[in-house]
A and B are shown apart, each in its own frame.
Chain A
């Protein structure tokens, strides 16, 4: 696989309709390797839908998605115009790890098994190797002692850290976070954000949909403000938080930061 690419991920004119409802309108985004991008905005803005479109949990209505400069998918009016062969697509999708708002851990597996299952069955790793790597990752998120517990015994924050370890176990190049702390009790948010910060410091490419303005401000290289299905404003955290240009951004930030 070639390592000489300009953008690890790029979208051109991506839009998405749910029936008559237009959730995404002409989204253009380019992500360089190692970049941390936070997507903020009011609910219903299409942030989650956009993230989910990237790893094909939602099918876009039209637009182009590039991964490592290769045209991954091109659709127009709900029809696929061009795409990579299926196997190649699968391979590239493995480079995207996803962390969900509601964790979605597998409840019938222990924490350790949650982490090593996919590497073993999908990446065809040896079980022993998978377990060892899983243990390493659990140590990294501070949950090595919970390896043999079932997820239901863990707090929300611990479950989310397991979910991050699970996504990392596939060795993705880019991590997508879909409101990873929105379902958590306030006192549990910090642990998860710390894990994410460490990831960012290690150079992981990250796309984070979040309502944690403090996190976005501190960790992001770039902040996107989405509203009504478009990227209304884009810039460094500095620009967006201290000197927003668009009226919609200003009112949103006022409402959020005052609360």
Chain B
């Protein structure tokens, strides 16, 4: 109840959006309704196709939350194609004029989001890679930060060297090193870490390599975030813990690190958004993220407009996670 009261406004806004989306989604035409709007010629071919082994018409039906996109095209001597956009019980032809652009945007967005594909495609890949990178990066970063501030010269030397190396070289080259150089030297292939029966082994291998490269890189940046947060904690906190007889480990684990987390959140949010954008570098090892898909669409269809929905998708993801981090920060600030 308290929760409802506190977040009254955002809850109302979200509820309205959800209701509108559900209503609009329920009102969008079905695939059958869309097909019934196609030209008689095309409908005839589709009916005939049902009994043929070699189909003449390629039917692409894409449903994107509140809008539908239907693309029908034939191959052969006289190529004909028809496109339709469905929205709120209506089907609009989208072969020319502004509706053509609308249709393309729906189609591109659908593909860049990775709809109809598994988790490792499009926006889903970008979000998955970014989230895992930040998690592993923070774990590694915490170890490195504790190493760097420790009095042990060897530990702090190793940590400093690591941070220096990964911050001082380009992420793209680091990605190449993990993807090409490391398997080259040690004589293995990234696809081999997945069973040969897995049809996507090559692709999953590339994803694994990307995740490792990104996490190693992010670890260096997170180390600095963690270190500056830890060092921003008042010296008196260490003294109080020591005077109470706590060991170094207890002091760090119970007193210093929990307080540091709160101070880290804005910087982690920043790092998250940086990684989200850096994740577009995976186009270099052929992973199908938003960037790769948009570039492929540009190359194969010559559509220069594709990059605009790409930007919008990135922006929406950034805004969403920015909002989440903001909430987390508030959550952790209860004691201030």
Q: Does B254 contact A121, Cβ atoms closer than 8 Å?
A: yes
Could you tell me the distance between the alpha carbons of A167 and B245 in the complex, rounded to whole angstroms?
Answer: 10
Q: Which residues from 101 to 150 on chain A have a C-beta closer than 8 Å to any C-beta of chain B?
A: 102, 104-109, 117-118, 121-123, 150
Residues of B within 8 A of A170 (CB): 244-245
Contact of B244 among A56, A102, A150, A166 (CB under 8 A): A166
Residues of B within 8 A of A56 (CB): 242
How far is the CB of B248 from the nearest CB of chain A, in Å? 12
Contact of A150 among B245, B259, B335 (CB under 8 A): B335
The residue among A55, A93, A106, A166 with the most chain B CB atoms within 10 A of its own CB is A106
How far is the CB of B232 from the nearest CB of chain A, in Å? 13
Q: Does A107 contact B246, Cβ atoms closer than 8 Å?
A: no
Residues of A within 8 A of B262 (CB): 108
How far is the CB of B125 from the nearest CB of chain A, in Å? 36
Instruction: Please tell me if B240 contacts chain A, counting CB pairs below 8 Å.
Output: yes
Q: Does B335 contact A152, Cβ atoms closer than 8 Å?
A: yes
* Chain A residue at minimal CB-CB distance from B236: A104
Instruction: Please tell me if B234 contacts chain A, counting CB pairs below 8 Å.
Output: yes
Q: Does A118 contact B335, Cβ atoms closer than 8 Å?
A: no
Contact of B245 among A57, A102, A118, A151 (CB under 8 A): A118
Contact of A106 among B237, B243, B336 (CB under 8 A): B237
Q: Does B254 contact A117, Cβ atoms closer than 8 Å?
A: yes
Residues of B within 8 A of A199 (CB): none
How far is the CB of B336 from the nearest CB of chain A, in Å? 6
Instruction: Please tell me if A100 contacts chain B, counting CB pairs below 8 Å.
Output: yes
Q: Does A150 contact B243, Cβ atoms closer than 8 Å?
A: no
Q: Does A100 contact B336, Cβ atoms closer than 8 Å?
A: no
Contact of A118 among B244, B259, B334 (CB under 8 A): B244
Residues of A within 8 A of B246 (CB): 118, 121-122
* Chain A residue at minimal CB-CB distance from B233: A107
How far is the CB of A72 from the nearest CB of chain B, in Å? 15
Instruction: Please tell me if A97 contacts chain B, counting CB pairs below 8 Å.
Output: yes
How far is the CB of B113 from the nearest CB of chain A, in Å? 39
Instruction: Please tell me if B258 contacts chain A, counting CB pairs below 8 Å.
Output: yes
Q: Which residues from 92 to 134 on chain B have a C-beta closer than 8 Å to any C-beta of chain A?
A: none
Q: Does B243 contact A55, Cβ atoms closer than 8 Å?
A: yes
Instruction: Please tell me if A254 contacts chain B, counting CB pairs below 8 Å.
Output: no
Contact of A121 among B240, B242, B243, B250 (CB under 8 A): B250
Can you identify 13 A-B contacts, CB atoms within 8 angstroms? A55-B243, A56-B242, A93-B245, A100-B236, A100-B240, A102-B236, A104-B234, A104-B239, A108-B259, A109-B335, A122-B250, A152-B335, A166-B244
Inter-chain pairs besides A93-B245, A170-B245, 8 sampled, C-beta below 8 Å: A55-B243, A57-B242, A94-B245, A98-B240, A100-B236, A106-B255, A122-B250, A166-B244
B interface residues, Cβ below 8 angstroms from A: 234, 236-237, 239-240, 242-246, 250, 254-255, 258-259, 262, 334-336
